[in-house]
Amino acid sequence: MSTPDELDRFIEAQGDRFIAELRELCAIPCEAADRAALDAAARWCRDRMRAAGFGDARELRTDGAPALVVGETGSGRRTLLGVQHYDVQPAVPLELWRTPPYVPAVRDGAVYARGVDDNKGHLLLRIQAVEAHRAVLGELPPRQCLDLGDGRLALPGPAGRGRGAGSRGRAHASQHAIQV
């Protein structure tokens, strides 16, 4: 039996759980103005990272800003850094949504929800990939570091922009989907 086959079997066996996790994360309406929802998303990400093997996953907080969730696993000399965000833009105008944006729906083999493609699906895939690798192949050869934040960057510089200066882009009402 080849390793890719074992990995494929693990992912297939966990598929329903992985999709349920995506739906659960996307149900958290963590828009920038909703501190309680941002905190809930940070805790959810921290707990999921711990379950995947990021034993040191934790929330870092400064100056009342939303939490930065960080964690590390693996033991190699090289480090692979993943930087993701768990916040979303407001889901407006609501009338353009076929289903409520924070009630994830599966249609035609895809999950539809606010944040499913930008960026909760991508964030969760990285965590689930670490879990799958560890389950089938053991510890990761390079260290894996994940930094999950609210989409704003800490940018030092002459303008003194600091945390919150990163571009969030324009809000848009089109739905995003991830194939399942």
Note whether residue 167 is domain-resident: no
pLDDT in tens, 151-165: 764 433 333 323 333
Note whether residue 110 is domain-resident: yes
What pLDDT is stored for residue 2 in this prediction?
74
What pLDDT is stored for residue 51 in this prediction?
97
Comparing CA positions, the residue from 69, 38, 67 lying closest to residue 56 is 69
Structure tokens at 32: 């920038």
Note whether residue 131 is domain-resident: yes
Residues in contact with 166: Cβ distance below 8 Å, sequence separation at least 6, in sequence order: 151, 152, 153, 155
Structure tokens at 26: 């996307």
45: CATH: 3.40.630.10
What pLDDT is stored for residue 141 in this prediction?
87
State how many domains the chain has. 1
Structure tokens at 22: 């995506």
Distance CA 65, CA 112 (A): 29
What pLDDT is stored for residue 1 in this prediction?
61
Distance CA 60, CA 91 (A): 27
Query: What range defines the domain where residue 142 resides?
Result: 3-152+172-179
CA triple 15-20-22, angle to 5 deg: 95
Note whether residue 166 is domain-resident: no
Note whether residue 25 is domain-resident: yes
Pairing state between β 79-85 and 143-149 = parallel
Note whether residue 159 is domain-resident: no
What residue has token string 């998303």?
41
Structure tokens at 180: 């399942």
What pLDDT is stored for residue 152 in this prediction?
62
* Residues of the chain predicted below pLDDT 50: 153-180
Note whether residue 160 is domain-resident: no
Note whether residue 34 is domain-resident: yes
